[in-house]
Chain A
Amino acid sequence: MFPFLRIGPLLIQMSGLALLAGLWVATTLIEREALRLKLNAAAILNMVFYGLLGGVIGARLIYAVQHASIYLASPLGLLSLSASTLDPIAGLIIGVVIAFLIGRRQHLPLRLTLDALAPGLAVFMIAIGVANILSGNAYGSPSHLPWGIYLWGEYRHPTQVYETVAALIILLIWKRTSTESRSPGVGFLQVVALSAAARIFLEAFHGASSLWSGGFRVAQVVGLIILALAIYLARQWRKPELASSEREQSARS
């Protein structure tokens, strides 16, 4: 665990730095994959940029809406650099919606664009794992296994390491299968499905899962739904008539 780096008066959050580095590698791979798929790489990177920007602004605004009277009285609080006053789930949804709308406006073919985003997603999952290793977040449940790590007062499953390794394997699988001939969008769905599968299995070792009644872990149930949806969509998107219409749209754009 190495959460902060102090340089003079500056206190740098190492997990944030890991996410930024992950973002940089992710956008590089997205650009490369977009060019390989003969897509407009600049338009896709614009879409990613505005999606991220909109996500961060949206996360702050939704947090502020939840504390409306406070932020109406002190609107400058909206400019705070503190990540603790963001609503991450809302930010994720808003970012995805904004990226989707910008993609549509720029006439990007949906499924091929998703394929271009696939390696970026896989790399960003690795960056999240590394960020969690550095911060000690997403810690595991108590464990007496020989590879347990001492964290937050107990020996625990190194869930952050499990997740990083899983994300790395997913990236390697994507790399291995990316050049094979397949319908547009299926490569992206594979990354999503494998990430959901990793979540379903690894969440059981987490020390701070959000729970539903009966002790069901929210992340596992959501992972199952995403996995089922990804498999279903992959079957649909393999239909030849859909694949050819996507390629025609790509050629037009």
Chain B
Amino acid sequence: MKSETARSPLNSDRLTMILVAILILGTVWTFISRASNPSSPQASRPPSPKEGFTAPDFTLDTLDGGKLTLSELRGHPVVLNLWASWCLPCRKEMPAIGEVYERYENEGLIVIGLNLTSQDSRSDVSAFVQELGLTFPIALDADGSVRDRYQLLGLPTTYFIDQRGIIRSVVVGGPMSEATIQSKVEDLLQEK
């Protein structure tokens, strides 16, 4: 009578032999599939709103009448917060963002409050900024082009961008706690 092991086409002994063969082939494969550009893999990636990619660039008008270009901020860690005045979690987390900005501004931190002006009212934005006394720049996405470039899925969304312009962390939804914002900012500052 044949044993159970002999009957099964995928018995344990056969599987072990296959695994040993995989171990040998895997060792060879690990060697030949080494990354060709290990020093800066992010450099070759196209800009995308994703961790490890360069943050998509934009130039926008600001609430105080100036202009702001993201790529000109290289050399500084940047917190890019996408928000709208009607979004409740955005309103709730904004004081914490303001406090973190004031605490780390002298260490080179830049915070951009990117308002979705195409879905908001400029007067509401001004009133909210004045109410909270926010001192960081508020960029106005009047035509929704930055929202589209960042493939925005929900508000608020916050990008933590390092001094080379690479996104290190993305937090979708909120409100973020002050500890969350601060820990992400300290990680960025430590990379300097």
Chain A residues at the B interface, C-beta cutoff of 8 Å: 3-4, 6, 9, 11, 13, 63, 66-67, 70-71, 73-74, 76-78, 80, 82, 84-85, 136, 139, 152-154, 173, 176-177, 180-182, 186, 190, 193-194, 197, 200-201, 203-204, 207-209, 211, 213-217, 220-221, 223-224, 227-228, 230-231, 234-235, 238
> Interface stretch among B7-15, B60-68, B124-132, B134-142?
B7-15
Question: CB-nearest residue of chain B relative to A223?
Answer: B26
Contact yes or no, A231 B179, CB < 8 A: no
User: In the assembly, what is the distance between CA of A199 and CA of B10, in Å?
Assistant: 21
Q: Any chain A CB within 8 A of the CB of B30?
A: yes
What are the residues of chain B within 8 A of A230 when measuring CB–CB? 19
Query: Interface residues of A: mostly helix, strand, loop or mixed?
Result: helix
Asked if residues B8 and A180 are in contact (CB atoms below 8 Å), the reply is yes
**Are the C-beta atoms of A80 and B19 separated by less than 8 Å?**
no
Shortest beta-carbon contacts, A-B, top 8: A77-B179, A204-B33, A153-B46, A215-B34, A215-B35, A200-B26, A67-B183, A215-B38
Q: Decide if B26 touches A84 in the complex (CB within 8 Å).
A: no
What residues of A have a CB within 8 angstroms of the CB of B147 in the complex? none
* Option from A73, A82, A84, A234 in Cβ contact (under 8 Å) with B16: A234
Residues of B within 8 A of A223 (CB): 26
- What is B's interface to A at a CB cutoff of 8 Å? 4-5, 8, 10-12, 15-16, 19-20, 22-23, 26-27, 29-30, 33-38, 41, 45-48, 50, 52-53, 88, 153-154, 169-173, 176-180, 182-184, 186
| 11 A–B contacts from the bound complex (CB under 8 Å) | A9-B88, A80-B179, A84-B171, A139-B50, A152-B48, A152-B50, A177-B11, A201-B29, A215-B36, A220-B29, A220-B33
Assuming the contacts A11-B172, A82-B176, asked whether A67 and B48 have C-beta atoms less than 8 A apart, the reply is no
B177 and A74 contacting across the interface, CB-CB below 8 Å: yes
Say whether A11 contacts B30, CB under 8 Å: no
Query: What B residues does A194 contact at CB under 8 A?
Result: 19
By beta carbon, the residue of chain B nearest A9 is B88
Contacts A4-B172, A215-B36: A200 and B30 contacting too (C-beta < 8 A)?
A: yes
CA–CA, A24 to B30, complex, Å? 34
Nearest B residue to A219, CB-CB: B30
Q: Tell me the minimal C-beta distance from A24 to chain B in angstroms.
A: 23
